[in-house]
Structure 1
Amino acid sequence: MENMNLTGQFLIAMPGMADPNFAKSITYLWEHSEEGAVGLVINRPFEMDLQALFKQLNMPTATSLADHPIYFGGPMQQDRGFVLHQPLQEWDSTMDLGNDTGLTTSRDILQAIADGNAPSNFLISLGYAGWSPGQLEEEIAQNAWLTIEATAEQRDHLLFSLAPQEKVGAAMALLGLDFSRLTEVAGHA
């Protein structure tokens, strides 16, 4: 598995995933290198929406997106917000992920959303998923994850257009697989 680069791909937790943070999850990897991997779980909404987040941040809102979900992005830094968005715009702290997609961690994007100036597409999460060097590759070798490569259009559809409960099935369909038919037992040839 040397030189594996899964940047921009999805990870689907296999049925035998023991870590409750990732069971039945789909994670979008925004970076993967020999130094490790980072991404966001994209199908686990908290019992919190934008309205509740804005209230917690004492941020008045003029947006009609008040019921937009806030996601559990992963177990790392759950007190920190991450906004995956399109188009790529310059905020105080934005990382260009390519394909007109950005990841912003500064409060100014939340203020823009509250003011009714939201990016066309966005996903807000608290926390992120992270792996140390070689950890993700080892987990993949142990059949904990299924990797899914997607076109830009398929990626955007999974990230921004689907309801959380539809994302795993839609990602599996890209491979022609049905998640309910997967087993916890791994086979090796």
Structure 2
Amino acid sequence: MATAEMQSENSVDLSKQFLLAMPGMVGGEWANTVIFMCEHNAQGALGLVVNRPTDLMLPDLLQRLSITVSPDAPAAQQPVFFGGPVHTDRGFVLHTPGRDYSASLPMGDLLLTTSRDILEDIAQGNGPAHYLVALGYAGWGAGQLESELAQNAWLNVAANNAVIFDVPPEARYESAIGVLGIHSSMLTGTAGHA
């Protein structure tokens, strides 16, 4: 049996969970990162970073796409997030249910949409109640995420919509760890072995 197949049989599906970068193990641009895991299977994993707003504001992105933003639309104050380093030219909208869009995939009680129609609704103030627009995604090949988890690089916790939509981006890491009832100062990057 191939190594990736053995790992996938023994691994837990992390879809619809948060991955949190472990202190001391994940540094640089990944330090204190919160990733909402959209998909995790034997072929690999895909997630969106939900706590890294960019300097690009949503109205500027929509203007580049020739979508007019209504001055009253909440989109006028929203940043675009760095979803991850893979395909940063592609946009993703993680959102609560609402209208049916042409390219939506269910992610538990959230949806991931990649079609223009949701952006048009958001621009006019008719979009979903809660949404996060991201460029790019975080991706792992078969067995890669499992290997990083075995090295204690990531901590997984149950995803919580309030962390994504109600908590300011700079506080999402601590808030996500708080789901476990702990603070990041209680974490260590070293792994123990018996």
Give the CA deviation at 1:115: 1.4
Which runs of 5 or more structure 1 residues have no equivalent in the other structure?
none
Matched, 1:89 2:99: yes
SS of residue matched to 2:77: coil
Supply the AA of the counterpart residue of 2:157: I
Structure 1 residue aligned with 2:46: 38
Higher helix share: 2
Question: How far apart in 2 are the matches of 1:39 and 1:116?
Answer: 26
Partner of 2:15: 7
Change (3 A) 1:35 1:146: same
Contact kept in structure 2, 1:11 and 1:26, CA below 8 Å: yes
Could you tell me whether the CA contact under 8 Å between 1:89 and 1:102 is conserved in 2?
no
Structure 2: runs of 5+ lacking an equivalent: 1-6
Query: 4+ residue runs of structure 1 moved beyond 6 angstroms?
Result: none
Pairwise CA distance, 1:91: 1.2
> What secondary structure sits across from 1:83 in the alignment?
strand
Q: Within 2, Cα distance between the matches of 1:14 and 1:102?
A: 27
User: Which 10-residue stretch deviates more, 175-184 or 72-81?
Assistant: 175-184
Determine the structure 1 residue equivalent to 2:86. Answer: 76
Residue of structure 2 equivalent to 1:127: 136
Instruction: Kindly state the Cα deviation for residue 18 of structure 1 after the two structures are TM-superposed.
Output: 4.3
Alignment of 1:105 with 2:114, yes or no, is yes
TM-score in terms of structure 2 length: 0.88
In 2, the alpha carbon distance for the partners of 1:161 and 1:89 equals 21
Q: Residues 152 and 190 of structure 2 are in contact (CA less than 8 Å); yes or no, is this contact kept in structure 1?
A: no
| 1:188 alignment partner, one of 165, 189, 193 | 193
| Structure 1 SS opposite 2:68 | coil
Among candidates 174, 184, 187, match of residue 179 of structure 1: 184
- 1:26 maps to which residue? 34
The size of the alignment, in residue pairs, is: 184
- Structure 1 contact 36–132 (Cα < 8 Å) conserved: yes
CA distance in 2, matches of 1:25, 1:18: 9
Name the counterpart of 1:140: 149
Deviations 1:61-97 (A, max 9, x none): 1024311111000111100000011115321211122
Paired residue for 1:48, among 56, 66, 71?
56
Identity of aligned residues (%): 45
Q: Say if 1:72 and 1:125, in contact at 8 Å, map to a contact too.
A: yes
What code does the residue aligned with 2:46 have? V
- Cα drift, residue 55 of structure 1: 2.2
CA RMSD of aligned residues (A): 1.6
Contact 2:11–2:146 under 8 Å retained in 1: no
Amino acid at match of 1:95: L
Deviates more, 1:45-54 or 1:10-19: 10-19
In structure 2, distance between residues paired with 1:82 and 1:109: 10
